[in-house]
Structure 1
């Protein structure tokens, strides 16, 4: 499958109309129609906006296969921006848990750095 077909399939599976996706990514309906027909390339910005609307990563849209169960996402393999986008896709409770863990780790690191700096000064 190519990107145009992937986009159309995902849109239809999510019960979205072309005009809804077009509005979300900032193009008119006729331009969006050309995207789904493969007559117009998608910009990176448009693909990114589409990923947010579909609640998928850009990679999941580009390599979409409706017959494959989503594979495990390894956050370490992603850029910092992609990591934050993935975290933002979590529900509020999970997001809160992730940020609490990060806060705890940062606090622990600050204490270690402070301790090492001050012990080294003795």
Structure 2
């Protein structure tokens, strides 16, 4: 498949109308239609807007293979080691957020355990 075909398949798979995508990338519907038909090339700026709209990288759009893009990662069904490996794949800001949440939960658990232990002594 070529880029035009990839864009069309991705749009359809995400349930978007041509006019919605056209509006998002800043072209009229007829111009967008030409993009999907391969009659007009996509500009770099338009491709960047498509990446945001489709939540895919430019490489994923250009080399689209619907079997290569994971739809969802469910961490609950993974072992602890697999969970940590998945967390390590996150960017630094996201990793920091995950660890802050874990720290907050552990602090809350320690407080509850301390409270329950000391209330039982009364």
- Could you state the TM-score of these two structures normalised by the residue count of structure 1? 0.58
Q: CA deviation at 1:96?
A: 5.3
Q: Which residue of 1 aligns with 2:29?
A: 29
Q: Which residue of 2 aligns with 1:98?
A: 95
Question: Radius of gyration: which is bigger?
Answer: 2
Question: Quick one: structure 1 residues 25 and 99, their matched pair in 2 at CA, closer, same or farther if it must change by over 3 Å?
Answer: farther
Q: Distance in 2 between matches of 1:16 and 1:95?
A: 32
Q: Distance in 2 between matches of 1:69 and 1:46?
A: 21
Q: CA deviation at 1:60?
A: 0.3
Give the gaps of 5 or more residues in structure 2. Answer: 71-89, 99-122
1:55 paired with 2:55, answer yes
Q: Which residue of 2 aligns with 1:45?
A: 45
Q: Runs of at least 4 residues of structure 1 off by over 2 A?
A: 67-70, 94-101
Q: Distance in 2 between matches of 1:45 and 1:8?
A: 18
Q: CA deviation at 1:98?
A: 3.2
Give the gaps of 5 or more residues in structure 1. Answer: 71-89, 102-122
- Could you state the TM-score of these two structures normalised by the residue count of structure 2? 0.58
Q: CA deviation at 1:66?
A: 1.6
